[in-house]
Structure formats: C-alpha cells, structure tokens
C-alpha cells in the first residue's frame, strides 16, 4: 500500500513557538495531490490546503506555511507563532482516493 507517514504522534509547545509537522508520502503516480486537514477537539475534519505534484513552490497563508519537496517525498506544515487555538490533530493526505496519515496531535500550552 502507498502510505502516508506522520512520524510525530504528539507535539507539545508553548504559545508563540514555531512548530513543524512532518509528512512523508509514497506514491507511484506521476501526478498527484497532497492535502493537510485539521481536526480540532470538536471532531470535524477541516480542509487546510491542497498542492499538486507539479508545483513545488512553498506556500504561506498567514501563520501557516507548507514546504513541498518532491525529491524527498515530503510535504511539511509549519505554524508560526503558535496559539492555543491551533491545538488539534493534523492529518496529511494524498490522492487519488484520499489516503491519510495517522495524524499528529499538536498541543499548544498558554
């Protein structure tokens, strides 16, 4: 099976620290898509970002940024100046049928 690996099970930081969530994927497809989702304590899964395999430009959206490196099959997610509201489980996924990693639980302490 083509896996998505999130090696970090849980990360604990103090508010205002920067934190990077790692994601490594396997795929045999030449064209594919990668996603990050957030699952807050309320339980719903919220889509954050989608990247296609042709576009390796890093992306920044407010405090969030994503680093996609095809050479290492990685799609890492950085939160700058973390806040308590960022506490959630974050999932990396790849296409084509959405396949998810095990998730990284981020705990941000005040």
- Cβ 5 to another protein shortest distance, Å: 11
Shortest gap between Cβ of 50 and another protein (angstroms)?
5
Query: Of 33 and 64, which has the nearer Cβ to another protein?
Result: 33
What is d(CA 47, CA 45) in angstroms, rounded to the nearest whole number? Answer: 7
Q: Is 9 helix (H, G, I), strand (E, B) or coil?
A: coil
Rounded to the nearest whole angstrom, what is the least distance from the CB of residue 76 to another protein in the complex? 19
- Pairing between strand 10-14 and 99-100? unpaired
Structure tokens at 1: 């099976």
The CA distance from 64 to 58, in Å, is 11
Could you tell me how far CA 43 lies from the centroid of its own chain? Answer: 17
Nearer residue to another protein within complex by CB, 35 or 75: 35
* Residue placing its CB nearer to another protein in the complex, 42 or 110: 42
**Site of interaction with another protein (CB under 8 A):** 32-33, 35, 37, 43-45, 47, 50, 52, 91, 95-103
């Amino acid at each position: 099976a083509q896996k998505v690996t999130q090696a970090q099970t849980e990360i604990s930081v103090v508010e205002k620290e920067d934190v990077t969530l790692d994601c490594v994927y396997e795929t045999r497809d030449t064209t594919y898509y990668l996603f990050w989702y957030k699952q807050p304590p309320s339980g719903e899964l919220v889509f954050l970002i989608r990247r296609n395999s042709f576009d390796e430009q890093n992306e920044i959206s407010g405090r969030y940024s994503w680093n996609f490196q095809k050479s290492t099959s990685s799609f890492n997610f950085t939160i700058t100046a973390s806040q308590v509201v960022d506490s959630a489980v974050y999932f990396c996924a790849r296409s084509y049928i959405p396949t998810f990693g095990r998730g990284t639980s981020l705990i941000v302490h005040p």
